[in-house]
Amino acid sequence: MMVCQSSDNIEAIYWVSIKMRIWREFYKGIIEQNPTLRLVLGMCPTLAVTTTAINGLAMGFAITFVLLGSNIVISLIRRLVPNKVRIPVFIVVIASFVTSVDLFIAGFFGELHKILGIFIPLIVVNCIILARAESFASKNNIILSIFDALGMGLGATLTLTLMGIIREILGNGTVFGFGILQQFGYHNLIIAILPPGAFIILGFLMGLLNFLTTKK
């Protein structure tokens, strides 16, 4: 009887540790290892397409989709890929998902596709995607790889969308295209939607995150 109880306790502890590991892999991408504000990866789309909130949100969803798909496939084939050709194989996998999301956006959201332009195909060489494939998915099982991709994708999406909201409010007086400041006689701060504004707002968000986490 004591052996059975001990076995049950060990199993319970095991599953608790698994759940904690899964949660940790998901949560780290939002705050601790936020790909944009902490790891400073994927700066091209971050600075270029976040002139509006919808652009940032769309790019974040595209990155998350590619991250999730590539992490799953790479985790599944990691033991079959020779070490010497792993990077080319990873890029082929990533490119397949990028092509899918590019065609989807072009087919259903033509105007948005024109705005995002070259930055969707450039997801193939986005450091966020390749870094997770190389450093995580190629070394871990599919469950952990899924939650790693979701966490990193959510962290990137939140950052891109927040930057888009701030830049759109300051530059146009709107949020997701809806006017909220014009009625108060707001004069657009044009620098917010220009490249210098992107750097300034990104730096502000980095500093704010560092301040909040250090204080915590």
List, as one string, the DSSP characters of 12-53.
Answer: HHHHHHHHHHHHHHHHHTTTTT-TTTTS---HHHHHHSTTSH
Largest alpha-carbon pair distance within the chain?
77
Mean pLDDT by groups of 10 residues along the chain of 216 residues = 57 75 89 90 88 93 95 93 90 94 92 86 86 90 94 95 94 83 75 91 93 78
Determine the pLDDT at residue 166. 94
Give strand pairing partners of 106: none
Burial class (CB in 10 A: 0-12, 13-18, 19+), 27: middle
The verdict on residue 182 lying in a domain is no
Q: In the block, which residue shows the tokens 């599953």?
A: 15
Burial class (CB in 10 A: 0-12, 13-18, 19+), 80: exposed
Give strand pairing partners of 165: none
Determine the pLDDT at residue 11. 66
The verdict on residue 113 lying in a domain is yes
Determine the pLDDT at residue 188. 81
**N- to C-terminal Cα separation, the chain:** 46
The verdict on residue 85 lying in a domain is yes
The verdict on residue 87 lying in a domain is yes
Cβ neighbors of 23 (< 8 A, separation 6 or more) are 147
The verdict on residue 81 lying in a domain is yes
How far apart are the C-alpha atoms of 49 and 117, rounded to whole Å?
9
3-state secondary structure of 174: strand
The verdict on residue 13 lying in a domain is no
Q: How many domains does the chain have?
A: 1
Tell me 81's DSSP state: S
Domain that holds residue 139: 41-164
The verdict on residue 186 lying in a domain is no
Burial class (CB in 10 A: 0-12, 13-18, 19+), 160: buried
The verdict on residue 183 lying in a domain is no
